[in-house]
Amino acid sequence: EDKVVQSPLSLVVHEGDTVTLNCSYEVTNFRSLLWYKQEKKAPTFLFMLTSSGIEKKSGRLSSILDKKELFSILNITATQTGDSAVYLCAVVLAPSGGSNYKLTFGKGTLLTVNP
C-alpha cells in the first residue's frame, strides 16, 4: 500500500528558530511531491518537487527531494508566529492508464511558533 509518513507530528518552537519538517514515502509510480500549508481552512500550495537535489525556495521556506532515499524536507528559517500551521506532504502517483493524478497525503506536521 502506498504510504507517506511525516515527522514530527507536532513541533513547538520560538520565533527566530529554524525548523526542518520531514516527509518520507513508499509508493509505486512516484511522479511528484507537493507541500501544502494549512492554517484554518484550505491547504495552500507551497512547492512541487519532481527532481532530486534541486532546491525550491520561496522566501524563508525551502524544500528539497531525494528520490534515492525517498524523502523530502521542508525548511523554514527565522520562523514567525504566522508560520504556525499544519504542513502537509502529498505524493502524486503516475496513473497506470487513465489520467488520475490523485494525491496520497501524510498526516501532517503541526507547527506552533511561539513569540
Partner 1 sequence: EAGVTQFPSHSVIEKGQTVTLRCDPISGHDNLYWYRRVMGKEIKFLLHFVKESKQDESGMPNNRFLAERTGGTYSTLKVQPAELEDSGVYFCASSQVPGLSTDTQYFGPGTRLTVL
Q: Give contact residues for partner 1 (rule: CB under 8 A).
A: 4, 31-32, 34, 36, 41-45, 48, 50, 88, 90, 92, 98-108
To partner 1, the closest distance from the beta carbon of 15 in angstroms equals: 27
Phi, psi of 81 (to 5 degrees): -60, -30
Kindly tell me which of 9 and 12 has the beta carbon lying closer to partner 1: 9
User: Smallest gap, in angstroms, from Cβ of residue 27 to partner 1?
Assistant: 13
Task: Give whichever of 50 and 77 is closer to partner 1, judged by the CB atom.
Answer: 50
In the complex, least distance from residue 14 CB atom to partner 1, rounded to whole angstroms: 27
- DSSP E strands in 8-96: the ranges are 10-14, 19-26, 30-38, 44-49, 56-58, 61-66, 71-76, 85-93
Q: Give, in order, the Cα–Cα distances in Å from 101 to each of 61, 90, 95, 109.
A: 26, 11, 6, 23
**Residue 55 DSSP one-character state:** P
Nearer to partner 1, 37 or 113 (CB): 37
